[in-house]
Amino acid sequence: MVIEWLKIKVAPEMREQYIQKDAEIWTAFLSEYPGFLGKEVWINPDNSTEVILVIRWASREAWKSVPSDRLAAIEQQFAQQLAGSYPIIEAGEYQVRKFPQS
């Protein structure tokens, strides 16, 4: 499993709307792809401008197989719905390692 990790900067008064629209638009879109396993949204109780998205993919290949033109179209739709853009201020990729239990 691969984790796509994104830290987004959001105005505090827009945070809940951002999270709602993210679920309606981005999560619905990603759910169309077989390698998408799920998504969590983390909020920082000490920083109301920070939203972390943790997206689980079956493999890196599944994640990277989402067509870039479709990603761009969804990003445009998302920005229009929220009347603005919300910068990704950090991004990362992680592999989930599981070890056999003895």
pLDDT in tens, 13-62: 999 999 999 999 999 999 999 999 999 999 999 999 999 999 999 999 99
- 101 part of a folded domain: no
30 within some domain: yes
pTM for this model (two decimals): 0.89
**Weakest-pLDDT range from 6-10, 50-54, 79-83:** 79-83
Q: How far is CA 54 from the centre of its chain?
A: 6
**Residue 100 is assigned to a structural domain of this protein:** no
CATH number, domain containing residue 76: 3.30.70.100
Establish if 71 belongs to a structural domain.
yes
Asked if residue 12 is part of any domain, the answer here is yes
Within a 13 Å sphere around the CA of 19, how many CA atoms are in the beta-carbon half? Answer: 17
> Domains in the chain: how many in total?
1
Domain extent, residue 59, equals: 2-95
For residue 102, being part of any structural domain is answered with: no
